[in-house]
């Protein structure tokens, strides 16, 4: 595997799940695979779970790990081509990337959408430059439009907890004070459809996601209707995708907060969220602390999803 952005990069999801469970039962079983190999993790944005779980995954596989926070201690990087660099950016990404690639065997990149340009965000301009110029396998640790390590962990968590073969999985928008990227909901919808689940995406009007990611899901603007019969409820905020409002907040409607009343509409559904979460906005304390909340096992599975992905990339290096 040379890159990891989508479920297609992983191939058969059932096989990937089985591999995840094998790793969960013996997470140091491949500790020789990464001997004398180095993972470089590059963060353009903050992280708790991704930073810790991916580093732990690399350690499970016996790798060395270098973490670079681009905005803390590195030269400020120019990402646009053709500019006269007379401002505060000292180094161009086009030199920085191959230099970084020369110090490692694999690269993970976190680089969120900036909302400056929908075209630039949806072309995944930053991570694609790493893929093109680093000479190394590259995986997304949440890039502009996708968060595949999260969606893979979500898939593992649902497979572990489902009680019917094809559960109803509802992705619901919920209010948030800041404009957030669409990466998590894009990947969640894409992976849940790829898993073969019944997928419903509920959001207020104006918040429909890129159909490229939701193809195969039912889209509705009626949250209560969507929640009926749900086995899993995945809450997430995102900003508007559609033009001319790309990246904007159109609503902070607290009627979309996931509460005990909302969960009562479901078929005793599990509650999921990728974290970090704004309590009282996205979800009530009662729901997130309740017995059907999966937010902690879901976050713990980030170590497992990252171990599978890094293991696959290390195995490909040996071929």
Structure tokens at 199: 């997928």
Q: Tell me which of 78, 142, 154, 159 binds ligand CP, using CB under 6 A.
A: 142
Interaction between residue 48 and ligand CP (CB under 6 A): yes
Note whether 190 and 155 are within 8 A (CB): no
Interaction between residue 215 and ligand CP (CB under 6 A): no
Beta strands at 270-272 and 232-236: parallel, antiparallel or unpaired: parallel
Note whether 310 and 39 are within 8 A (CB): yes
Beta strands at 64-69 and 77-78: parallel, antiparallel or unpaired: unpaired
- Residue range at the interface with ligand CP (CB under 6 A); choices 56-64, 160-168, 202-210, 272-280: 272-280
Interaction between residue 50 and ligand CP (CB under 6 A): yes
Residue ranges in 153-172 that form contacts with ligand CP under rule CB under 6 A: none
Note whether 43 and 69 are within 8 A (CB): yes
CB of 314 to ligand CP, least distance (A): 22
Structure tokens at 212: 């490229």
Give the number of other Cβ atoms within 10 Å of residue 161's Cβ.
16
Interaction between residue 187 and ligand CP (CB under 6 A): no
| For helices 13-25 and 295-317, angle between their N-to-C axes, nearest 10 degrees | 100
Q: Tell me which of 274, 277, 283, 313 binds ligand CP, using CB under 6 A.
A: 274
CA-CA distance, 282 to 176, in Å (whole number)?
7
User: Is the preceding peptide bond at 244 cis, omega within 30 degrees of 0?
Assistant: yes
CA-CA distance, 246 to 254, in Å (whole number)?
21
CB of 244 to ligand CP, least distance (A): 29
CA-CA distance, 130 to 107, in Å (whole number)?
8
- Residue range at the interface with ligand CP (CB under 6 A); choices 43-51, 62-70, 101-109, 251-259: 43-51
Structure tokens at 239: 């900003």
What are the distances in angstroms from CA 143 to CA 109, 111, 231?
A: 7, 5, 29
CB-nearer residue toward ligand CP: 78 or 141: 141
Interaction between residue 275 and ligand CP (CB under 6 A): yes
CB of 312 to ligand CP, least distance (A): 20
- Residue range at the interface with ligand CP (CB under 6 A); choices 47-55, 60-68, 124-132, 259-267: 47-55
CB of 177 to ligand CP, least distance (A): 17
Interaction between residue 250 and ligand CP (CB under 6 A): no
CB-nearer residue toward ligand CP: 47 or 64: 47
CB-nearer residue toward ligand CP: 30 or 152: 152
Interaction between residue 99 and ligand CP (CB under 6 A): no
Q: Tell me which of 38, 47, 79, 114 binds ligand CP, using CB under 6 A.
A: 47
CA-CA distance, 267 to 134, in Å (whole number)?
48
Interaction between residue 150 and ligand CP (CB under 6 A): yes
CB-nearer residue toward ligand CP: 274 or 308: 274
**Residue with smallest beta-carbon separation from ligand CP:** 50
| Chain residues in the site for ligand CP (CB under 6 A) | 47-50, 142, 150, 274-276
């Amino acid at each position: 595997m040379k890159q990891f952005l989508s479920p297609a990069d992983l191939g058969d999801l059932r096989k990937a799940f089985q591999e995840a469970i094998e790793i969960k039962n013996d997470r140091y079983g491949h500790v020789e695979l990464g001997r004398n190999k180095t993972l470089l993790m590059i963060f353009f944005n903050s992280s708790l779970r991704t930073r810790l779980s991916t580093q732990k995954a690399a350690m499970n596989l016996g790798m060395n790990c270098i973490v670079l926070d681009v905005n803390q201690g590195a030269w400020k990087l120019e990402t646009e081509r053709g500019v006269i660099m007379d401002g505060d950016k000292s180094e161009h990404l086009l030199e920085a990337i191959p230099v970084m690639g020369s110090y490692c065997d694999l690269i993970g990149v976190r680089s969120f959408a900036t909302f400056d340009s929908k075209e630039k965000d949806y072309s995944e301009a930053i991570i694609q430059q790493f893929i093109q110029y680093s000479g190394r396998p590259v995986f997304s640790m949440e890039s502009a439009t996708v968060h595949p390590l999260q969606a893979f962990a979500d898939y593992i968590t649902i497979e572990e907890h489902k009680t019917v073969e094809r559960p109803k999985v509802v992705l619901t928008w919920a209010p948030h004070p800041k404009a957030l990227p669409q990466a998590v909901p894009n990947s969640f919808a894409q992976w849940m459809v790829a898993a073969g689940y019944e997928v419903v995406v509920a959001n207020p009007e104006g918040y429909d996601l890129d159909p490229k990611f939701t193809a195969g899901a039912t889209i509705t603007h009626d949250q209560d209707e969507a929640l009926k019969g749900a086995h899993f409820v995945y809450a997430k905020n995102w900003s508007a995708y559609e033009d001319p409002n790309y990246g904007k907040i159109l609503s902070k409607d607290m009627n979309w907060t996931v509460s005990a009343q909302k969960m009562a509409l479901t078929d005793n559904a599990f509650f999921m969220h990728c974290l970090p979460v704004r309590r009282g906005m996205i979800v009530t304390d009662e729901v997130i602390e309740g017995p059907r909340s999966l937010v902690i096992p879901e976050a713990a599975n980030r170590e497992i999803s990252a171990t599978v992905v890094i293991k696959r990339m290390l195995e490909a290096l040996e071929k």
